[in-house]
Amino acid sequence: MQMIESGIRDVKHGENVRVITPVNIYGCELRDDVFVGPFVEIQKGCVIGSRTKIQSHTFICENVTVGEDCFIGHSVTFANDLFKHGAPDPSPENWLQIVLGNNVTVGSGATILAAEICSGAVIGAGSVVTKPLLVKGVYAGNPARLLRPL
Amino acid sequence: MQMIESGIRDVKHGENVRVITPVNIYGCELRDDVFVGPFVEIQKGCVIGSRTKIQSHTFICENVTVGEDCFIGHSVTFANDLFKHGAPDPSPENWLQIVLGNNVTVGSGATILAAEICSGAVIGAGSVVTKPLLVKGVYAGNPARLLRPL
Amino acid sequence: MQMIESGIRDVKHGENVRVITPVNIYGCELRDDVFVGPFVEIQKGCVIGSRTKIQSHTFICENVTVGEDCFIGHSVTFANDLFKHGAPDPSPENWLQIVLGNNVTVGSGATILAAEICSGAVIGAGSVVTKPLLVKGVYAGNPARLLRPL
């Protein structure tokens, strides 16, 4: 049995980045003043914008771009494979490229399975986002629906 | 990049408390015979009552009071900020003060976003609790609804 | 306060098993070519079939059998106690014995509270499975429902 220790590898980072360990973060970029809580995994190809907070237990899959001044709550899960052919898709070019704008707020326990979350969107705790959120507003539920525009 | 190791800091505790590390627990109180599983975060201002079990991967936000003999399952997430103004509220006095009674059972994967859970309430796995639960009973769903009184 | 370090204890394993630490895995079996990501707990009595991947943050409760070539996503939570009498059941013989077939795909953030998931089933991200899934197909929602057979 091969045991490989998690950690921080191949991470480009700006000024004043703070990370609470243990984490598993690799092949990505954390810009100025980013905060990352404990028990977080961020995979390769991700970019986390300046002043964004990623709280404990959150998982960010490959190729997610998060804008500036976002709040990603605790135990938030991103997923980019729609399992279109009834199984995990081995071709990364078929996966969603998830982009969050600026000032996005994602409540704790939410699951994000959508390519685009517009700037200023607010997603309630425990929601499951299955479609792009293109209107600035408050969303909640499984699947998440617009509760009110902002 | 500043790396800060998680751990146990400023925790008041009773007799026979057991904790499986790694955890991130700070500024709170764990009373007699409390059990805390691995990969748990408990934030400041929390009080965990005697004989209560907090299972792995659970996140308990600031100022949560959990009664005695409760079972908090795995990957349970508490949230106290309703994002009323469309963003994280920077004023802690506006956050929910979440109180769980005694003998409360919270199923694994549930999200708790409500100020009060009465004694003896049972919350099903994967539920999202968005309103106070004031009647002793079994609740489930997103949002959680009363399935049957107890 | 007693602090007990998580780790890998009493695990029977096949060839070429890879585990990203930290994890808490005990009293179970990991067969050939299994992969386990970081921040995972697997409890006693579990069997994970050959070539199956268990991604980060996932919790597998006691006595779960996962078949071969399965993909268990990130932050997936298994639960085997139905709290039938309004509280955690202290008798393990009353708990579900959860069995997943081969080639099962479980999306990230899903909760599994059902005794059987048939071979080839696909469960969407964020779903809550409350009943056995006996027809090969794609399931999603809370509670999870069949979206289309495969």
Of B19, B74, B75, the CB nearest to C3: B19
Q: Can you read off the two tokens belonging to residue B135?
A: 């009647």
Please report residues of C whose CB lies closer than 8 A to that of B39: 6, 22, 24, 39, 41, 57
pLDDT at C38: 98
Structural domain contains residue B102: yes
Cβ pair B6:A20 closer than 8 A: yes
To the nearest whole angstrom, how far is the Cα of C138 from the nearest Cα of chain B? 19
Looking up residue A93, the CATH number of its domain turns out to be 2.160.10.10
Of the candidates C1, C88, C3, C87, the one whose C-alpha atom is nearest the C-alpha of residue B32 is C1
Mean pLDDT over A77-84 rounds to: 96
Structural domain contains residue A99: yes
SS3 A92: helix
To the nearest whole angstrom, how far is the Cα of B93 from the nearest Cα of chain C? 31
pLDDT at C54: 98
How many helices and strands (H and E) does chain A possess?
0, 22
User: CB-based contacts of B105: which residues, under 8 Å, 6+ apart?
Assistant: B70, B71, B73, B121, B122, B123, C83, C86, C87, C88
Alpha-carbon distance of A145 to C133, in angstroms, equals: 27
> How many structural domains compose chain A?
1
Structural domain contains residue A2: no
pLDDT tens for each residue of chain B, 150 residues long: 999 999 999 999 999 999 999 999 999 999 999 999 999 999 999 999 999 999 999 999 999 999 999 999 999 999 999 999 999 999 999 999 999 999 999 999 999 999 999 999 999 999 999 999 999 999 999 999 999 999
Q: Give the nearest chain A residue to B56 (CA atoms).
A: A57
Q: Are C126 and A113 in contact (CB under 8 A)?
A: yes
Alpha-carbon distance of A91 to A80, in angstroms, equals: 12
To the nearest whole angstrom, how far is the Cα of B111 from the nearest Cα of chain A? 6
User: Count of CB atoms within 10 A of residue A150's CB?
Assistant: 12
To the nearest whole angstrom, how far is the Cα of C32 from the nearest Cα of chain B? 26
Structural domain contains residue C55: yes
pLDDT at B9: 98
pLDDT digits (tens, 9 = 90+) for C78-106: 999 999 999 999 999 999 999 999 999 99
pLDDT digits (tens, 9 = 90+) for A84-127: 999 999 999 999 999 999 999 999 999 999 999 999 999 999 99
Mean pLDDT over A45-73 rounds to: 98
Q: Which domain covers residue A103, as residue numbers?
A: 8-149
Which residue's entry shows tokens 């929602």? C141
Structural domain contains residue A62: yes
Of A1, A39, A128, the CB nearest to C125: A128
Of C18, C39, C74, the CB nearest to A77: C74
What is the band of A129 on the pLDDT scale with cuts at 50, 70, 90?
A: very high
Please report residues of B whose CB lies closer than 8 A to that of C22: 22, 38-39
pLDDT at B24: 98
Structural domain contains residue A129: yes
CB pairs under 8 A between B and C: 103
The secondary structure of residue B92, as a DSSP letter, is G
pLDDT at A122: 98
Cβ pair B78:A108 closer than 8 A: yes
SS3 A94: helix
pLDDT tens for each residue of chain C, 150 residues long: 999 999 999 999 999 999 999 999 999 999 999 999 999 999 999 999 999 999 999 999 999 999 999 999 999 999 999 999 999 999 999 999 999 999 999 999 999 999 999 999 999 999 999 999 999 999 999 999 999 999
Cβ pair A21:B3 closer than 8 A: yes
Alpha-carbon distance of C98 to C77, in angstroms, equals: 12
Alpha-carbon distance of B95 to B80, in angstroms, equals: 5
Cβ pair B5:A13 closer than 8 A: no
pLDDT at C71: 98
Report helix, strand and coil shares of chain C as percent, to nearest 5. 0, 35, 60
Structural domain contains residue C1: no
User: Count of CB atoms within 10 A of residue A38's CB?
Assistant: 23
Alpha-carbon distance of C43 to C23, in angstroms, equals: 11
Q: In this prediction, what percent of chain A has a pLDDT beyond 70?
A: 100
